[in-house]
Chains A and B, each alone.
Chain A
Amino acid sequence: MSTEVALLETDKTETAVRRSALQRLLKDPQAVITIAFLLLVLAVGLLAPLIAQHGPNESSLNAVNAEMGTPGYLLGGDQSGRDIFARLLYSIQTAAVSAAIGTGVACAVGLTFGLVGGYFGGRVRTVIEWIFNLIMTFPGLLLLIVLMPLTKGDFRITMLIFGVLLAPSIYRIVRNVTAGVRNELYVDAAKVSGLSTLRILGRHVMPVVRGPVIISGAFLMGAAINLQSGLAFLGVGSTEVPSFGAMIATGFLNLYVHPLQFLWPALLLGASTASLVLLGNALRDALEGARPKPAKLGSTKVRRPKAPVKPGDATSLLNVTDLTMEYPNPAGEPKQVLKGVSLELRAGETLGLVGESGSGKTQTAFSVLGVLPPEAVITSGSVLLDGRELLDLREKELRQIRGKDIAYIPQEPMSNLDPSFTIGYQLVEGIRTSAGMSKAAAKERALELMERVGIPNTRRTFDLYPHQISGGMAQRVLIAGAVASRPRVLIADEPTTALDVTIQAEILDLLRDLQQEMGMAILLVTHNFGVVADLCDRIAVMRHGVVVEEGDVMQVFHQPQHPYTQKLLNSILDETQLREDPETLVVTGKEQQ
């Protein structure tokens, strides 16, 4: 029963998604114009026998090189006395049939084997993979020409073979998508509930695969038409078949005397293939959402009235006042993420910034560092470092501060190291940027730092790549990089969350030691009250983009003022209580991990 409901629901949402994709498509002028044009061309082509006054190969001596507008010859005649207008119309049919066969075969073959290969894996996939690699190795065009005696010049058979040659591109897309979907939980659920493989493929995999296949279908149609015209231009195939390529070839010979004979087929061919490409692009936008937009590095947008705080107001090392920041939601309307955050970090202290995920902790940290994503806009507030307004600084000026005065330790160590450069290289580059040392001196400093943060065998590790070290080691490397220039403010964004429990404590100890040694202030973003109790002097509690409570750790722990803080503190697991109730123990024991 429950699966039935679930299936019904996916069906509903799926239809909704489909409809909205169609709506988006119909709102896009690029799509509407290209579809309208292609349909018009197709309709005219199909109606050729009714519209055209002559057959495509019917030649008449009177019409040899006839001018445009000759009665019965709207666009004139070619050098064999054939009606150019009629030939154009019949050429559309040839192009449409080519596109349909080529794309149809490519999609049918690619889709079938992609679904099977992606879903089953193992030996089945190995064999299919091998066959498609073989197809890709075939010198395609050459094969088409070699097979001419076999195909007897019939372009339909040529297109059939071309479709097989194009199939690998569809196969790859479908295989990847299918293999991805196969591992999704809802497919597992469908399997467990006893749905047959065919039904799973039809219901769950096809909807995901459909979009990418439709998109490449549009491009493949263009490719098929191109190829057919190219071959016809070269004179491959029957001369009886009217096609753009054959018309262009005839017109090309006559280019000087009667340039228009060449122009018409070229225009129609160009407009058709261009429409298919533009339609493909529009389909991609509609079905896959807008493609990623590029962004200039370091363009944190600040759009706010004059700074509300006078520099004299700053009493602490870092003052964040009334910081408001928003992101546009998918519809383009601004959505506030930070709603007036105020914080202060005093020299040498550790401030814990806590709150549930989504409360804006990390966004606050990024705002201070000036590394927000390009969509983000800061709409009000101020960030003062030593009384200097950071939000007014340009990227170039900020770069002087980053790495020197403010440093950053990320949450996930692995993704924050560049996988293509050695650890040593990355440390040396950072040190040289902030301290302007020679290469050799920077290397010495890097080795010292690595030693200091507890990396064993520093000279060997120096030459290793990030994937060759453990997560804990990678985090030590990132800490070494952050403290290299003895910053005054260290922003640590959940520095232990991604690490094993045993390593977490070591990393926290390291941070504490480094802080005592260098006297830096730490802004510690975390959701773990244990870490706060262990390391912090003060605490700021965030919720829904505002700081609801800020104060001394002990004071907040013992007398939380805000109801949200009380709720958070109450939700900390009290083990003595839990042990009385075995049922709860099981549940919370899992949560604790």
Chain B
Amino acid sequence: MIPYILRRLATGVILAVLVTLITFWLLSFSFTGVASNILGPASSPEAVEALKDQLGLDRPVLVQYFDWLWSALRGDFGVSYFTSESVGKAVTIRLGVTLSIVLVALALSVVASVFLGVLAASKAGAVDRIAQGTSLIGNLFPNLLIAIALVVVFALNLRWLPATGFTPFAEDPRRWAASIAIPVIVLVINGVANMSAQIRGTMIGELQKDYVRTLRTRGISPRSIVYRHALRNAAAPALVVLSLEFIAMFGGALIIENVFALPGFGSFAFNSSLQGDIPVIMGVTVFSVLLVVSINLLTDVINGWLNPKARLF
């Protein structure tokens, strides 16, 4: 088990190095633009060159990358060109905001999807059609439209919730909840659409298997067959969908956070990319790769535990 996790972590680190290297190489094409961005539109070419020299942007790309990598490995991700914030710290704070939205949305989506998916698969008929129809709505319309529609209805017209902005949990839990409510609902609508259909399909497949028939001939109750046996067997494939959804929600947060002006990871990444804040872009890239890698690893470990055949320990 431990060697397996270590091997996977090592692969993850190699992946992170590769991805950041490619990102850095791609960024290197716009170093001049970055420097003139910092100095403003009226800067002279000489001043831009001087700044590039000062930031070390004129050195060979590989030298710069390994310089960055060496510091990053020691936990030093540099400071933002624009705000002089420490990148490591800034990224963690923004990550906290996004995770609080994504995790809440994910938890709600899982509960709703399992409920709808299992209900649809085991009850058939009208219940199935209603459950499927509900999940279809999330698939039909882009997140952007759903987000704007909710803002218009709940924030602008009914004035129940703030349209934009974020209150940290520690400051005021109630206002925190209100500030993330609409973004969370948008992500949940989408998440349920994706996950409940998958869970329904897997459950239908499980309920048609031989062992279900044999359990029935033993007089086992449908409740135990559906919720204990079939759901347990459907859990592993559902978990894979869950991990994909987590990553998708993280990506989706980029647009959502900008619509709602939330100081999260997505809007942070977006703004620093527009500015060309190289240390921040690199930090954001590292953290998102590591996040994806850890999610995948976690999924495989839990999956191994769920599926006796793939159990590693």
A419 contacts B233, CB within 8 Å? yes
How far is B188's CA from A293's CA once the two chains are assembled, in angstroms? Answer: 25
Known contacts A134-B15, A149-B29; A395 and B140 CB within 8 A of each other: no
B 68-91 to A, binary, CB cutoff 8 A, 1 in contact else 0:
000000000000000000000000
Residues of the B chain whose Cβ atoms lie less than 8 Å from the Cβ of A430 = 218-220
Residues of the A chain whose Cβ atoms lie less than 8 Å from the Cβ of B242 = none
Tell me if B181 is interfacial: C-beta within 8 Å of chain A. no
Tell me if B59 is interfacial: C-beta within 8 Å of chain A. no
One of A400, A421, A433 near B218 (C-beta < 8 A): A433
One of B148, B218, B307 near A266 (C-beta < 8 A): B148
Residues of the B chain whose Cβ atoms lie less than 8 Å from the Cβ of A366 = 213
B207 contacts A429, CB within 8 Å? no
Known contacts A295-B124, A416-B214; A395 and B222 CB within 8 A of each other: yes
B292 contacts A234, CB within 8 Å? no
How far is B143's CA from A170's CA once the two chains are assembled, in angstroms? Answer: 23
B146–chain A nearest beta-carbon distance, Å: 9
How far is B232's CA from A481's CA once the two chains are assembled, in angstroms? Answer: 21
Tell me if B95 is interfacial: C-beta within 8 Å of chain A. no
B142 contacts A273, CB within 8 Å? yes
Residues of the B chain whose Cβ atoms lie less than 8 Å from the Cβ of A269 = 142, 145
Tell me if B175 is interfacial: C-beta within 8 Å of chain A. no
B204 contacts A433, CB within 8 Å? no
B217 contacts A274, CB within 8 Å? no
Residues of the B chain whose Cβ atoms lie less than 8 Å from the Cβ of A266 = 145, 148
Tell me if A448 is interfacial: C-beta within 8 Å of chain B. no
Q: In the complex, which residue of chain A has the Cβ closest to the Cβ of B148?
A: A252
A465–chain B nearest beta-carbon distance, Å: 4
Tell me if B254 is interfacial: C-beta within 8 Å of chain A. yes
Q: In the complex, which residue of chain A has the Cβ closest to the Cβ of B289?
A: A137
Q: In the complex, which residue of chain A has the Cβ closest to the Cβ of B290?
A: A137
Chain B residues 138 to 179 lying within 8 A of chain A, measured CB to CB, are 139-145, 148, 152, 156
A478–chain B nearest beta-carbon distance, Å: 7
Tell me if A314 is interfacial: C-beta within 8 Å of chain B. no
One of A143, A245, A273, A481 near B23 (C-beta < 8 A): A143
B 18-62 to A, binary, CB cutoff 8 A, 1 in contact else 0:
110001001101100100000000000000000000000000000
B219 contacts A402, CB within 8 Å? yes
B205 contacts A292, CB within 8 Å? yes
User: Which stretch from A107-115, A380-388, A405-413 is at the chain B interface?
Assistant: A405-413
How far is B270's CA from A137's CA once the two chains are assembled, in angstroms? Answer: 18
A255 contacts B156, CB within 8 Å? yes
How far is B29's CA from A482's CA once the two chains are assembled, in angstroms? Answer: 72
How far is B215's CA from A415's CA once the two chains are assembled, in angstroms? Answer: 12
A255–chain B nearest beta-carbon distance, Å: 7
How far is B131's CA from A29's CA once the two chains are assembled, in angstroms? Answer: 22
A298–chain B nearest beta-carbon distance, Å: 6
How far is B142's CA from A270's CA once the two chains are assembled, in angstroms? Answer: 7
A149 contacts B276, CB within 8 Å? yes
Q: Is the interface of A mostly helix, strand, loop or mixed?
A: helix
Q: Is the interface of B mostly helix, strand, loop or mixed?
A: helix
B42–chain A nearest beta-carbon distance, Å: 20
One of B125, B141, B308 near A274 (C-beta < 8 A): B141
Tell me if B285 is interfacial: C-beta within 8 Å of chain A. yes
Known contacts A145-B270, A298-B222; A420 and B124 CB within 8 A of each other: no
Tell me if A186 is interfacial: C-beta within 8 Å of chain B. no
Tell me if A32 is interfacial: C-beta within 8 Å of chain B. no
A170–chain B nearest beta-carbon distance, Å: 15
Residues of the A chain whose Cβ atoms lie less than 8 Å from the Cβ of B209 = 415
Residues of the B chain whose Cβ atoms lie less than 8 Å from the Cβ of A147 = 26
Residues of the A chain whose Cβ atoms lie less than 8 Å from the Cβ of B284 = 139, 142
A420 contacts B308, CB within 8 Å? yes
A145 contacts B274, CB within 8 Å? yes
How far is B19's CA from A140's CA once the two chains are assembled, in angstroms? Answer: 11
B26 contacts A146, CB within 8 Å? yes
B144 contacts A226, CB within 8 Å? yes
Q: Which of B156, B216, B266 has the most CB of A within 10 A?
A: B216
How far is B30's CA from A149's CA once the two chains are assembled, in angstroms? Answer: 6
How far is B215's CA from A445's CA once the two chains are assembled, in angstroms? Answer: 18
Known contacts A252-B148, A270-B141; A297 and B222 CB within 8 A of each other: yes
Residues of the A chain whose Cβ atoms lie less than 8 Å from the Cβ of B29 = 149-150
Residues of the B chain whose Cβ atoms lie less than 8 Å from the Cβ of A143 = 23
How far is B212's CA from A366's CA once the two chains are assembled, in angstroms? Answer: 13
Can you sample 17 A-B contacts with CB below 8 Å?
A137-B15, A143-B23, A145-B270, A149-B29, A149-B33, A226-B143, A262-B148, A277-B140, A292-B208, A294-B122, A294-B203, A297-B216, A297-B226, A407-B218, A415-B209, A417-B214, A420-B229
B contact residues vs A (CB 8 Å cutoff): 15, 18-19, 23, 26-27, 29-30, 33, 120-125, 128, 136, 139-145, 148, 152, 156, 200-201, 203-205, 207-222, 224-226, 229, 232-233, 251, 254-255, 258-259, 266, 269-270, 273-274, 276, 281, 284-285, 288-289, 292-293, 306-309
A143-B23, A245-B144, A270-B142 known; 7 new pairs, CB 8 Å cut-off, are A137-B289, A145-B269, A149-B30, A295-B124, A296-B124, A399-B220, A421-B232
